[in-house]
Amino acid sequence: MRRSSAYIPVSTAAALLVTSSTLFFVFTCPWLAVNVSPVFPPCVGIVFLFVMANFIMATFMDAGVFPRANEDEDKDEDFRAPLYKNVEVRGVQVRMKWCASCHFYRPPRCSHCSVCDQCVEDFDHHCPWVNNCIGRRNYRFFFLFLLSLTLHMVGVFSGGLLYVLDHPENLWELHTAVALAVMSVSALFFIPVLGLSCFHLVLVARGRTTNEQVTGKFQGGVNPFTRGCCQNVQFVLFSPITPRYTEKLGERLPLHIQPPFHQPESHKLSPDGSVLSQILPVKSLEEVDAPDSKSLTCPPPLPPKPDPVLLKNHLAALEESLLQSRALMLSGHSMNPLQTSESPTKVLYQVPRDQMGSRISPLVPQEHASEPSLLQPENHANALTLNSRSLSLKHSSRRGSQRAEIPHASQSVLSGRTGSLSYDSLLHPAGVQPAFLPMDPGLSRGCVDVQRLPARNCSPVFMHINREPSPVRYDSLPKPLMSSIQERREPDDKDKPMQDSGIYDTPSRRSLPQDLRGLSSSRGPTPPAYGSREFLLSSAAYGYGSRSHLSSSSSSSLTRAPRTTSSPLHFNRSLSPSIYQSLDRQSQLPPSTLPAPLPTSSYGPQKALAYIRGGERPEPEL
């Protein structure tokens, strides 16, 4: 609702225009018709009608207002999006600015009007004399209004002058006085109106808007929007009027969307062929519409935090066991512990063993086989765990109130599941890992969103992590220790990116089936070891109580992150380059990953610190 004072200029302009013209027609035109020409008054009349028509159109026509963006569209933009996005227009880089009010990147030439509080397409200026924005849809009316008003003023002034010159002795007579008054008003406003008309003539010829001219956008550079003088004039005057964007749309026919859905021919599931694409629908889903997702329930409350002293003791024990287990892994006898593994693998993959085994085994021969069934709701917990962790990292600095919810989700998930990976699933990379979507913007909406995310993104990092069957000693150690060991091993692992230097590295790369190794190597210089460590660190860092330690560097990296295209894991880059670059690369891998023995959420705050430190280290391999 605009202030009532905003209506003063438009009312004044309208009143002056109508009153002066009416007086001219009533008092001066009869004499002009008789003594000058009978054509003169009708011409002035037509011009006046044209002025009024354009004035009314410029006043009441929608300038090309963009409606506010829906929540769905901007939910991945608000927190991490940079302020500007570059786009190329005819070879010239144009900056699109994020509009905080309208929640989208303003298209080129669009600007937000502070008076109207709307983004306007091809924004020219906000004109107080018509009390309206001048934009793409009504610029021609405004321009024609100016031109026709100039012409009308010239006609009225000249008609009045002729009359006054013919009646010099009766200057105080009514008709003469009125003619003089009309002449004065015309003369008073003629100069500014003429100036404005000439200004807009030049703008139209150069293909610029007032906004661009005044802000000096193209002063030293090239205007990519110009088409040449004639084409610019043609565009302004004769281009079709674009539709109103804010109009209420008519009723549409209802459309029923009912599964089962058709699959593309190349992605049909077959026993022999790759089922990679089967996983992609879920894998690529990166945004979840909160109100529509019903598959997950709210998480239970967070379990109590571990004792730091106890954690340290456990850490030492875990480290020792890991050293031993590492030797075992390298020797290739690491498969056996899988069957006896307990808490780590159970925690990581809370999938009923029988389900995993039965679903994965038929796909075992497939190198890239993914297990769509793994993405069933029962797998959501696993994805939930990861997603909640990553979510907490991403939004730790922004949503303190939501932080507590995320570990809740992970804790509940972990505690609620009792299944464990089947030996077969761990042996063969046929299983699809629970979705790891650290940067899913949808998760920022709260725990409910986090839970809904699940199972929709497969993390190839899992594959790397869990290629090495978890050593038997992992099972007996508390999770916080594992991340500590991760932390300690990081410097070593950095030096030997391709070697098996960590618990969650892929020392088994040597022991992996040839196809898997080929698979990873064919994907480029991905250091799975590092990536897996990073990943585990990140997941470890989201144990309860670790959120407070997420550094501002992580959050600042969010805002600095360049906006990328809609790849599921592209968001990761803004969060932690080292971690998510590896994840991003690995996201290009087929999701034929083994479940990784992720540490559970029982990590203390120091693990979060470890994560952050690890995350900030430069990643030479990447």
Subset of residues 261 to 300 that bind another protein, contact rule: CB under 8 A: 261-267, 269, 277-282, 284-289, 292-295
Q: Which of 168, 255, 304, 340 binds another protein (CB under 8 A)?
A: 255
> Per rule CB under 8 A, is residue 235 in the interface with another protein?
yes
Residues 6+ away with beta carbon under 8 Å from 118: 65, 66, 102, 112, 133
Q: Which of 9, 82, 224, 513 binds another protein (CB under 8 A)?
A: 224
Q: Which of 37, 239, 336, 521 binds another protein (CB under 8 A)?
A: 239
Q: Which is nearer to another protein, 70 or 324 (CB)?
A: 70
Q: Which is nearer to another protein, 279 or 338 (CB)?
A: 279
To another protein, the closest distance from the beta carbon of 89 in angstroms equals 5
Neighbour tally for 500: CB within 10 Å: 20
Is the torsion defined by CA of 288, 291, 296, 297 positive or negative?
positive
Q: Which is nearer to another protein, 339 or 358 (CB)?
A: 358
Q: Is 368 helix (H, G, I), strand (E, B) or coil?
A: coil
To another protein, the closest distance from the beta carbon of 338 in angstroms equals 29
Say how many CA atoms lie within 13 Å of 302 toward its Cβ.
21
Say how many CA atoms lie within 13 Å of 524 toward its Cβ.
12
To another protein, the closest distance from the beta carbon of 183 in angstroms equals 27
To another protein, the closest distance from the beta carbon of 263 in angstroms equals 7
Task: Please state whether the peptide bond connecting residue 38 to the residue before it is cis, i.e. omega within 30 degrees of 0.
Answer: no
Q: Which is nearer to another protein, 101 or 242 (CB)?
A: 242
**Beta carbons of 621 and 530 less than 8 angstroms apart:** yes
> Per rule CB under 8 A, is residue 598 in the interface with another protein?
no
Neighbour tally for 84: CB within 10 Å: 15
Torsion of CA 601, 416, 292, 369, to 10 degrees: 80
φ/ψ (deg, to 5) at 111: -145, 155
To another protein, the closest distance from the beta carbon of 260 in angstroms equals 3
Q: Which tokens go with 89?
A: 């227009």
To another protein, the closest distance from the beta carbon of 389 in angstroms equals 21
> Per rule CB under 8 A, is residue 204 in the interface with another protein?
no
* Catalytic choice (113, 127, 133, 458): 127
Whether residue 458 lies in the annotated active site:
no
The Cα–Cα gap between 455 and 52 comes to 62
Q: Which is nearer to another protein, 55 or 603 (CB)?
A: 55
CA–CA distance from 132 to each of 116, 127, 141, 199, 209 (Å)?
8, 6, 12, 19, 16
To another protein, the closest distance from the beta carbon of 277 in angstroms equals 4
> Per rule CB under 8 A, is residue 259 in the interface with another protein?
yes
Q: Which is nearer to another protein, 121 or 493 (CB)?
A: 121
φ/ψ (deg, to 5) at 107: -60, 165
> Per rule CB under 8 A, is residue 72 in the interface with another protein?
yes
The Cα–Cα gap between 494 and 400 comes to 33
The Cα–Cα gap between 316 and 446 comes to 36
**Beta carbons of 550 and 612 less than 8 angstroms apart:** yes
At position 496, the amino acid (one-letter code) is K
- The CA-based angle 554-555-558, given to 5 degrees, is 95
At position 228, the amino acid (one-letter code) is G
To another protein, the closest distance from the beta carbon of 453 in angstroms equals 10
Q: Which is nearer to another protein, 121 or 487 (CB)?
A: 121
Q: Which of 7, 73, 188, 562 binds another protein (CB under 8 A)?
A: 73
Q: Which of 216, 256, 272, 522 binds another protein (CB under 8 A)?
A: 256
To another protein, the closest distance from the beta carbon of 388 in angstroms equals 18
Angle between helices 139-166 and 229-238 (to 10 degrees): 90
Footprint on residues 465-504 left by another protein (CB under 8 A): none
> Per rule CB under 8 A, is residue 87 in the interface with another protein?
yes
The Cα–Cα gap between 396 and 548 comes to 7
To another protein, the closest distance from the beta carbon of 43 in angstroms equals 15
- Using CB under 8 A, count the residues that bind another protein: 82
Footprint on residues 97-156 left by another protein (CB under 8 A): 104, 107-109, 121-122, 141, 144
> Per rule CB under 8 A, is residue 2 in the interface with another protein?
no
φ/ψ (deg, to 5) at 561: -65, 130
> Which of 506, 478, 464, 495 shows the shortest CA–CA distance to 591?
464
Q: Which stretch binds another protein (CB under 8 A): 85-93, 196-204, 298-306, 397-405?
A: 85-93
The distance from CA 13 to its chain's CA centroid, rounded to whole angstroms, is 44
Footprint on residues 339-378 left by another protein (CB under 8 A): 372, 376-377
Q: Is 477 helix (H, G, I), strand (E, B) or coil?
A: coil
Footprint on residues 431-450 left by another protein (CB under 8 A): 442
Neighbour tally for 172: CB within 10 Å: 8
Q: Which of 152, 208, 326, 456 binds another protein (CB under 8 A)?
A: 456
Q: Which is nearer to another protein, 284 or 559 (CB)?
A: 284
Footprint on residues 536-575 left by another protein (CB under 8 A): 566-568
Q: Which of 40, 50, 189, 423 binds another protein (CB under 8 A)?
A: 50
Q: Which of 47, 57, 113, 384 binds another protein (CB under 8 A)?
A: 57
Catalytic site residues?
Answer: 127
